[in-house]
Amino acid sequence: MKRIIISITALSIAAISWAGNPARTGTAGATELMINPWANSSGWNGINTANVKGVEAFNLNIAGITQINSSNIAFSYVDYLKLADIKINSFGLAQKIGSSSYIGLSVFSMNFGNIMRTDVNNPEGGIGTFSPRFSNFAIGYGHKFSDAISCGLVFRGISEAGASDVKARTGCIDAGVQFSAKSKKVLMPKSAVKGRDIHLGISLRSVGVNGAFAGDGLSYHATDVDGIQRTLQARSATFQLPTQLHIGVSYDLRLDQDSGVYNNRFTLAGNFTSNAYANNQFGLGFEYGYKKIFALRAGYQYEDKINDAALRINAFSGIAAGASIYIPLKKGGSDNLVAFDYSFRDSRILGATHSFGIRIDLGESE
């Protein structure tokens, strides 16, 4: 256990040492890996690295896959940057196996719609359309060493199809750790101190091999000096992956207690994201939950020059909000739930992003 934690911490320090370089902004490929498609966690801008749970942990901190009792299934649909007409569909499954091990999978598909095809001879189009698709498939494993410490690892395959005859494929890994502890009684009323309410999360994402596009679409006809027609293949430059480091903390404040069951919970979270090919980001967010009936959340994520219309490099303004409604699947119990999630992320340029999700929890979350 100690070796795993030390390794992740060492990798995190290494990531910080070369991340956040403005000169490299926009030079990475496969930047869809930076998109969080899940409606629950995106409602507070992915700031919940420390306490993310279940399937949504695939896009923030895979250690959170261990925070379920049995099974978690999730679906999401994202109308991404509405004026850009980009749609994202995602599906995930997490399952407990044995007493302390967890496995899961996640599928992400990004559709850009139909785009007019052009070439040198037809710059105005009229020769059909093509439909780019970006997708990735991830398999994750998590292990809970104790109630206080859990770790996880993800293997992700990445595919980008610019057209039917030009594609890029590569892969990466993610790793994460979550810690939790009980707060001192001086932080809240004695009656509210129960369980673990202070959380810390560290995750390193999208560490992998360089990718490159290839296919018949990069071939072209040329005439050499002898007048012979030849078919040549252009080489695509390689691209690196948008490695990220997340460091997050959260604190659960139980506001009251009724017959041993807490009705009102307020969670405050903070997160720092070190980006290898973008500006570093700092975020604060909160979530209020009433029993297992509904939850409200919001977050703000700041980066350098985000409020400067001329110099900002992020389409998003940093503001996000969301809500969830929970419906029990069996009468008189909360072990099995269906959650309907919604999130809104503001953009001053390309329209807001709206995310809709459904989660099925078979077994009460810890």
Q: Around 350, how many Cα atoms within 13 Å sit in the side-chain half-sphere?
A: 15
Q: Give the mean model confidence (pLDDT) for residues 272-292.
A: 93
What is the structure's pLDDT at 256? 74
User: CB of 75 within 8 A of CB of 90?
Assistant: yes
> Residue 261: pLDDT band by 50, 70, 90 thresholds?
low
| Residue of 305 and 217 predicted with greater confidence | 305
For residue 80, pLDDT beyond 60: yes
Chain mean pLDDT for the chain: 86
What is the structure's pLDDT at 197? 86
pLDDT, one tens digit per residue, over 241-260 is 999 999 999 999 887 765 55
Q: Give the mean model confidence (pLDDT) for residues 118-132.
A: 85
In three-state form (DSSP H/G/I as H, E/B as E, the rest C), the secondary structure along 238-254 is CECCCCEEEEEEEEEEE
Q: Is 190 helix (H, G, I), strand (E, B) or coil?
A: helix
What is the structure's pLDDT at 11? 52
pLDDT, one tens digit per residue, over 185-197 is 434 444 444 456 8
What is the structure's pLDDT at 303? 94
For residue 312, pLDDT beyond 80: yes
- Structure tokens belonging to residue 324: 């969830």
pLDDT, one tens digit per residue, over 183-240 is 654 344 444 444 568 999 999 999 999 999 988 878 877 887 777 887 777 888 899 9
pLDDT, one tens digit per residue, over 130-153 is 889 999 999 999 999 998 999 999
H helices within the chain, ranges in order?
Answer: 2-18
User: CB of 206 within 8 A of CB of 57?
Assistant: no
For residue 334, pLDDT beyond 70: no
> Residue 116: pLDDT band by 50, 70, 90 thresholds?
confident
Torsion (CA) 175, 7, 206, 362 in degrees, nearest 10 = 0
What is the structure's pLDDT at 366? 43
For residue 365, pLDDT beyond 50: no
Alpha carbon separation from 311 to 81, 187, 303, 308 (Å, rounded): 19, 42, 12, 5
354: CB partners within 8 A, 6+ apart? 78, 79, 82, 342, 343, 344
> Residue 12: pLDDT band by 50, 70, 90 thresholds?
low
